[in-house]
Amino acid sequence: MQHVPLGRTALQVSRLCLGTLNFGVRTSKDDSFALMDEALARGINFFDTANQYGWQIYRGLTEEIIGEWFATGGERRDKVVLATKVFNPMSDWPNDQGLSARNIIASCEKSLRRLRTDWIDLYQMHHVDRAAPWEEIWQAMEILVRQGKVRYVGSSNFAGWHLAAAQEAANRRNFLGITSEQCIYNLVTRHVEVELIPAAQAYGIGVLVWSPLHGGLLGGALRKLEEGTAVKTAQGRAMVALDTHRDTIAEYEAFCLEQNLDPAEVAQAWTLSRPGVTAIVTGTRTMAHLDGAIRALDLELPDGVLKKLEDLFPPVGKGGPAPEAWAW
C-alpha cells in the first residue's frame, strides 16, 4: 500500500481511503466490520465518514458502526487516520446544521461519542457555508484543536476561491487551516482541473476524490444493467448521467474489454494518476470492490490507453487550469 503526506502536513495516509457511505445501509454491520478489518490488513489506514451518513435509516448510524468496530480493540483506533464531516442537517432544528461555531463544536462532540474516540484526525467541512464568516469558523476549529479533539481540518465540495479565502483567513490567525479538500473528480466530471486543483496545489492542500466511478457509471454500468446486477448504477448520479453519456460509456466499456481491462479499475487508476490527487475515497460495498480498488492502485495505464480516455472524456474547455482553459 502506498502512503503519502496529507497535503503539506507530515501525516501519512494511504492513497486509498475507505469510504463508509454504504455502512449500515447497503452494507450490513457485520460486513462493514469485515471490510474495515480487511482494509486495515491491506495497509489502508485512512477511513472517511460523515456525521450524516446512514440518514436513510437515521443520521449518525455509520459513525456508530465505526465506533463499535473501534471498541473491539486490537489497536484499531490507533492505526486509523479517521476523517468525518460537519455541515449537513442532523435534525429539523435551524442550529443543527451549517458551520456556525455552535454547530461545529456541538457536532464534533456528538461525533466523538458516536465514534467512541477521543479525537478526530481530519474534521472536514462537508460544504461551504456562505452565511458563516471565516473568523467564526476558524475560532471554533481552533478551540477543538487546542482541546485535542481535532488534529487537522479539511474541506469538501469547495470552489477554488473558497479554498483561497479560507486559507488566507487562517494565515492571518497563524492557524494551519485547510489540509485537504474532498471533491468529486472522475473521467466524466473534470471541472476541478480548471481552478480547484490548481488552488489546492498552490496552498499545499491535499486533494481527496469522492465518486471516482461517478456513482458506478464508469464501473461497467451498461454491462451490469444488462445482466441485472446493477445497484448504485441503476439510480442517482449514474442513472442521470447515463442519459447523456450512453454512447460514450458504451465505447468506453468496449475499449476496456478490448484491452482486457476492468472499467472500474481503469477509472480509478486514471484518477489516482492525476496531478494533485492525494487519494481516492473508495466507497466499497463488498470485498470484491475493495480488491478492485487495490488493483487499480498498481495499474499503470499505457500512453495509448490514456490518449483514448482523453478522446472519450475530454477536459473542460481547452484543458488545463484557468484562464488558459478558455482564454487565448
Q: How far apart are CA 141 and CA 153, in angstroms?
A: 8
- Return d(Cα 233, Cα 108) in angstroms, integer: 33
Give Cα separations from 25 to 20, 28, 161 (angstroms). Answer: 10, 7, 35
> What gap in Å lies between CA 327 and CA 91, rounded to an integer?
45
Q: Are 181 and 152 in contact (CB under 8 A)?
A: no
- The amino acid at residue 185 is Y
- Grouping H, G, I as helix, E, B as strand and the rest as coil, residue 155 is strand
Largest CA distance in the chain: 59
DSSP state of 233: G
Q: What is the DSSP letter of 234?
A: G
Active site residues: 53
For 12, the 3-state DSSP assignment is: strand
Other Cβ atoms closer than 10 A to 328: 5
* Cβ atoms of 179 and 152 closer than 8 Å: yes
d(CA 127, CA 193): 19
